[in-house]
Structure 1
Amino acid sequence: MKYLIMMYPNAAVMDALSEEDRNAVFQGHGEFMTKIKESGEFVGTVALGGPEESSVVRVRGGVPAVTDGPYAEFKEFVGGYYVIDVKDRDRAHEVAAMIPDAAVEGLGIEVRPIVFSDDVSA
């Protein structure tokens, strides 16, 4: 079963960490990816730009209009995600718990099953 594991960075939480702790979180992602690649559970990952870099496209009267900024106001936002392929939901939670952000007070990892994809790798 494939799962989407989403990370929600929070600048205030990350800024409150020491430089050493922040670096440990960032480096921990490399270690995490190595582990799940070795287990064969890694499908892919994406790191996203921040909401301040986003734009919204709406079509009104057949004319597209583009506005700067995120679709909704944000305090927390999806900063990136992993796609994994594991035997069950319990294993998805085990894998999510291995992501360094999960151990940081004020951050969390969201786990959602992928119910449809037309991309065979996702």
Structure 2
Amino acid sequence: MAPADLLDVPELRAELGGALRTVAVGDIEKREYEIRYMRSDVADQYSGEIQDRIFEDLVFEYVGSPAREDDFEPLGDLQFTTRTFENGHVVMCWGDDVLLYVTLDPSSYFVPPTMRLLEDQLRRHGS
């Protein structure tokens, strides 16, 4: 599993406040993930089986992304994916076989700061 210091949950909570729903880190090579934080109301909505299925979908997206990235070569490597749903946002960041996964409440205000925070945390960790 990814090192414990890879995601600084207290920093994310301090910066994003109540908009933060879930924080998880995944080891893509080992196909394992660990939820580092999940707000209680969110935990009530997702069974362990659904959480596993979501992570597997994200791993497959990462594994399949190099073929799609070729079309965007001038832009460089894919670093983030953001999905916007009616009731929230999913922000994903990849680095050296590690997936950082954060979900947020519906306000798009928190998406750019989340991307900056995840990028900073990967950089500090050297991933």
TM range (shorter): 0.3 to 0.5
TM-score (norm 1): 0.35
TM-score (norm 2): 0.34
Larger gyration radius, structure 1 or structure 2: 1
Which structure has more relative contact order (CA 8 Å, sep 6+)? It is: 1
